Amino acid sequence: MESQDDTATNSLLQFDPLESAVDPTFWHALSKKKIEVYRLSDAQQDISAQYQVPAPHPTRNAAAATAAAATEASARAPKNVPAARLSFSARSFDDVSVAAATASCTSPGVLRNTNTIEEFKQLDKTNALKEVAERIWADMNSGAAISNPSLLTRFLLVTFADLKKYRFYYWFAFPALLPEEPIRLSRAVPMADVYSGAQISALRESWAAKGGALPFFLLSETNEALGVHELREWHNVMQDGKPVTVGFVDPSSQPANPGWPLRNFLILLRVRWGVTAARVICFRESTLPRDPCSIICDVVLPGAASPRGAACPKAVGWEKNSSGKLGPRMADLGPLMDPAQLADTAVDLNLKLMRWRIMPSLQLETITATRCLLLGSGTLGCYVARALLAWGVRNITFVDNGRVSFSNPVRQPLFRFEDCLDGGKPKAAAAASGLKGVFPGVNAVGVDLNIPMPGHAAATPDRTCADADRLRELIEAHDAVFLLTDSRESRWLPTVIAASLGKIVINSALGFDTFLVMRHGIVTGAHEPSASLAPVTSTADITSLGCYYCNDVVAPADSLSDRTLDQQCTVTRPGLSAIASATAVELLVSILNHPLRARAPAPLPSASNNPSAPTPSPLGLVPHQIRGFLTHFSNLLITGPAYDRCTACSAVVLRMYREEGAAFVRRVVEDPGVLEEVTGLRAMREEADAQDVDWDVEEGDDFEI
């Protein structure tokens, strides 16, 4: 076992490089230092880092691993061996004298924090490394490294802290001075092959007795024991003619290679004491009683020693990044430091909480992914947006053509007083920005647009066509459309477009103390003719649910221009809008969570009689219409079929819109009578007496006509 292996004598000694391990507290501390202490200074700062013997890992068996490594012809390291780490944390900024923990070694280092990414890139890296190497060399020559051997492990860290993006650019170097000639390895064996159990136990105890943090040391040997001595005891310990035996705390787990800290130690041995051959104990023992993990490397240091006081040898030691390239690394602390990202995660987990605790079938991802178009950015629009946000909806587009007025902010929660000044900000944009103020993670957009309305001729027919096309584009780009405008006729075109595109439509309108929230049916081919307008008693009768206009026997027309101001600005009980908006959003969520989505069957009227009755789907019923009565603090669920003469969703209207597009819209805008003509309503009206319930009472001043 002790026999010299001649081929091995020739092998180059390779050192396991150190890998930096930075924990997030280091970056927190660096940010704080940068803001409170360093500011714009790029002066070199003293910091420190820690390394220790490797933690035990399951496959670790020094004897077996060394044997396996020896049979591998390749010079590459065995796979799946943990890296030798130098660790950085908030404590790296503490005074080195208090930083020492037991069973770990402290390395001193130099931090060079640059102020811009350009400075970081342009810093002369070669020279920076050389400066640190020169300090190590000086400490060897002065003897400082003998009384304080941790100086041999001095490192360099170059950083740039981008505190706006919470990114940290950095590059470590662990400078190693190069010998005159490469150092050779005679052999590397597990320590247990050379020393007895008693000797190894004595070594552990002796090292612990020296404080358990001595990074480099000398060894004395008897048959029973190995003793640890500080470097300054060289002349007492080493005897002329006897082999030199030294040790160092080795963070490496490699079975046949020593760790990086040994490099400068060997240079010191060569320079200070002229050592040409040494036995090195790569000390990897923990304080726990376990099998010895240390290895022994017998090394040869050929070539002439640089005389003391000579110029500093060349040095290497820049760390490679995760791709194995020589280059800087980047840490992204955004998830821990960026308030917007923190809010995002917190909101997401809060919603998941509902799923985890209450309802595993909740389709959170579907809800989040639903793109919502809010037509109208007044009271209803503001409250609907807030409720959508609470459900995790991340894409919300506001459409309005008004400006924020002084009466708005108290009722419309996305606006503030400042939004009303100087004539008022455009409502849609102000609502989008208000929503982002609540939650920056939302993609909120405001679109200033006039929705073409039957009976309201625009300035030019071209204008009408352009607006109609723009509205179509918007509806196409969203999954759900909320009708929240302040007039009945402004809902007609979006109803037609959404019906022809098969989009989900949620419609909400307010009276003084009553509200309507309804979903539009999804049109499947031509409507089955529905003979009467009477409320249905069985959902089996309904093949398609009606839209907002299905109960009408007159076409929507200009309902605003002939009214007095007080009719236009219909007053509602202030709490009503929040109730209706929340109901509208919950209706959307119930639709999204139903397997049939917008085609979910509506409940029978009787279903709402008993609120404690079980419901077919986890979120409950998916009603067609909810009519709320604040006078009685009660809601009524109504189910109404699609009407084959509907001015908005009937087959004939949809066909004409499909065929003529914006031209059809222009005709209707100029003359709403067209709708009554094509649907046959006019003919019918002469016979039937309309028993219309007037629901088109609106909140008021949001849309300027």
Decide which of another protein, Zn ion, none touches 209; Cβ closer than 5 to 8 Å per partner kind.
none
Q: Hey, which residues between 291 and 320 contact another protein (CB under 8 A)?
A: 314, 316-318, 320
Q: Nearer Cβ to another protein, position 104 or 450?
A: 104
| Nearest alpha carbon to residue 519 among 605, 611, 606, 637 | 637
Q: Nearer Cβ to another protein, position 99 or 542?
A: 99
Joined tokens for residue 320: 């490679």
Please return the burial class of 564, using the count of CB atoms within 10 Å of its CB with bins 0-12, 13-18 and 19+. exposed
Q: How far is the CB of 121 from another protein (least distance, A)?
A: 5
Joined tokens for residue 368: 């989040």
Residue length of the chain: 705
Q: Which DSSP state fits 243?
A: P
Please return the burial class of 565, using the count of CB atoms within 10 Å of its CB with bins 0-12, 13-18 and 19+. exposed
| 69 is a site residue for another protein (CB under 8 A) | no
Number of residues that bind another protein (CB under 8 A): 76
| 333 is a site residue for another protein (CB under 8 A) | yes
Q: Which helix (H) or strand (E) holds 634?
A: strand 634-638
| 325 is a site residue for another protein (CB under 8 A) | yes
Interatomic CA distance for residues 347 and 340, integer angstroms: 11
| 20 is a site residue for another protein (CB under 8 A) | yes
Residue carrying the six token digits 């390895």: 185
Decide which of Zn ion, another protein, none touches 506; Cβ closer than 5 to 8 Å per partner kind.
none
Q: How open is the CA angle 545-361-355, to the nearest 5 degrees?
A: 120
Of 146-154, 356-364, 604-612, 667-675, which part binds another protein (CB under 8 A)? 356-364
Q: Nearer Cβ to another protein, position 28 or 33?
A: 28
| Nearest alpha carbon to residue 163 among 40, 343, 345, 334 | 334
Of 120-128, 424-432, 459-467, 559-567, which part binds another protein (CB under 8 A)? 120-128
| 646 is a site residue for Zn ion (CB under 5 A) | yes
Residue carrying the six token digits 């091995």: 8
Query: Is-contact 635 626, C-beta < 8 A?
Result: yes
Residue choice 247, 292, 328, 454 for contact with another protein (CB under 8 A): 328
Residues with Cβ within 8 Å of 562's Cβ and at least 6 positions away in sequence, in order, are none
Residue choice 327, 574, 575, 616 for contact with another protein (CB under 8 A): 327
Q: Which DSSP state fits 491?
A: G
Q: Nearer Cβ to another protein, position 265 or 695?
A: 265
Q: Nearer Cβ to Zn ion, position 522 or 648?
A: 648
Residue choice 198, 302, 310, 356 for contact with another protein (CB under 8 A): 356
Residue spans of beta strands (DSSP E) within 230-380? 244-249, 277-283, 295-300, 315-318, 329-332, 371-375
Query: Is-contact 183 31, C-beta < 8 A?
Result: no
Residue carrying the six token digits 């077919």: 616
Decide which of another protein, Zn ion, none touches 178; Cβ closer than 5 to 8 Å per partner kind.
another protein
| Nearest alpha carbon to residue 429 among 441, 450, 444 | 444
Joined tokens for residue 533: 């307008």
Interatomic CA distance for residues 533 and 684, integer angstroms: 13
Decide which of another protein, Zn ion, none touches 83; Cβ closer than 5 to 8 Å per partner kind.
another protein
Report CA dihedral (330, 336, 339, 340) to the nearest 10 degrees: 70
Residue choice 84, 176, 269, 550 for contact with Zn ion (CB under 5 A): 550
Interatomic CA distance for residues 343 and 320, integer angstroms: 34
| 176 is a site residue for Zn ion (CB under 5 A) | no
| 595 is a site residue for another protein (CB under 8 A) | no
HEC string for 72-94: CCCCCCCCCCCCEEEEECHHHHC
Q: Which DSSP state fits 607?
A: G
Query: Is-contact 152 145, C-beta < 8 A?
Result: yes
Query: Is-contact 283 247, C-beta < 8 A?
Result: yes
Amino acid identity, position 593: N
Of 14-22, 102-110, 503-511, 641-649, which part binds Zn ion (CB under 5 A)? 641-649
Decide which of another protein, Zn ion, none touches 263; Cβ closer than 5 to 8 Å per partner kind.
another protein
Interatomic CA distance for residues 48 and 107, integer angstroms: 5
Residue choice 308, 355, 563, 685 for contact with another protein (CB under 8 A): 355
Decide which of Zn ion, another protein, none touches 649; Cβ closer than 5 to 8 Å per partner kind.
Zn ion
| 649 is a site residue for Zn ion (CB under 5 A) | yes
Q: How far is the CB of 612 from another protein (least distance, A)?
A: 22
Q: Hey, which residues between 643 and 702 contact another protein (CB under 8 A)?
A: none
What are the angstrom distances between the C-alpha of 412 and each of 432, 437, 579, 697?
Answer: 13, 15, 13, 18
| 99 is a site residue for Zn ion (CB under 5 A) | no
| 212 is a site residue for another protein (CB under 8 A) | no
Q: How far is the CB of 382 from another protein (least distance, A)?
A: 28
Decide which of Zn ion, another protein, none touches 578; Cβ closer than 5 to 8 Å per partner kind.
none
Decide which of another protein, Zn ion, none touches 138; Cβ closer than 5 to 8 Å per partner kind.
none
| Nearest alpha carbon to residue 230 among 253, 206, 205 | 206
| 7 is a site residue for another protein (CB under 8 A) | no
Decide which of Zn ion, another protein, none touches 75; Cβ closer than 5 to 8 Å per partner kind.
another protein
Q: Hey, which residues between 340 and 369 contact Zn ion (CB under 5 A)?
A: none
Q: Nearer Cβ to another protein, position 257 or 485?
A: 257
Helices (H), 177-260: 197-209, 234-237
Residues with Cβ within 8 Å of 309's Cβ and at least 6 positions away in sequence, in order, are 141
Q: Nearer Cβ to another protein, position 166 or 549?
A: 166
| 441 is a site residue for another protein (CB under 8 A) | no
Q: How far is the CB of 59 from another protein (least distance, A)?
A: 11
Q: Hey, which residues between 498 and 537 contact another protein (CB under 8 A)?
A: none
Q: How open is the CA angle 565-568-573, to the nearest 5 degrees?
A: 110
Residue choice 33, 38, 82, 449 for contact with another protein (CB under 8 A): 82
Q: Which residues are marked as active site? A: 569
Q: Hey, which residues between 529 and 548 contact Zn ion (CB under 5 A)?
A: 547
| 28 is a site residue for another protein (CB under 8 A) | yes
Residues with Cβ within 8 Å of 390's Cβ and at least 6 positions away in sequence, in order, are none
Q: Nearer Cβ to another protein, position 316 or 582?
A: 316
Q: Hey, which residues between 167 and 186 contact another protein (CB under 8 A)?
A: 169, 171, 178, 182-183
Q: How far is the CB of 438 from another protein (least distance, A)?
A: 18
Query: Is-contact 30 168, C-beta < 8 A?
Result: yes
Q: How far is the CB of 28 from another protein (least distance, A)?
A: 6
Decide which of Zn ion, another protein, none touches 290; Cβ closer than 5 to 8 Å per partner kind.
another protein
Residue choice 290, 308, 658, 685 for contact with another protein (CB under 8 A): 290
Q: Nearer Cβ to another protein, position 213 or 509?
A: 213
Q: Footprint of Zn ion on this chain (CB under 5 A)?
A: 547, 549-550, 646, 648-649
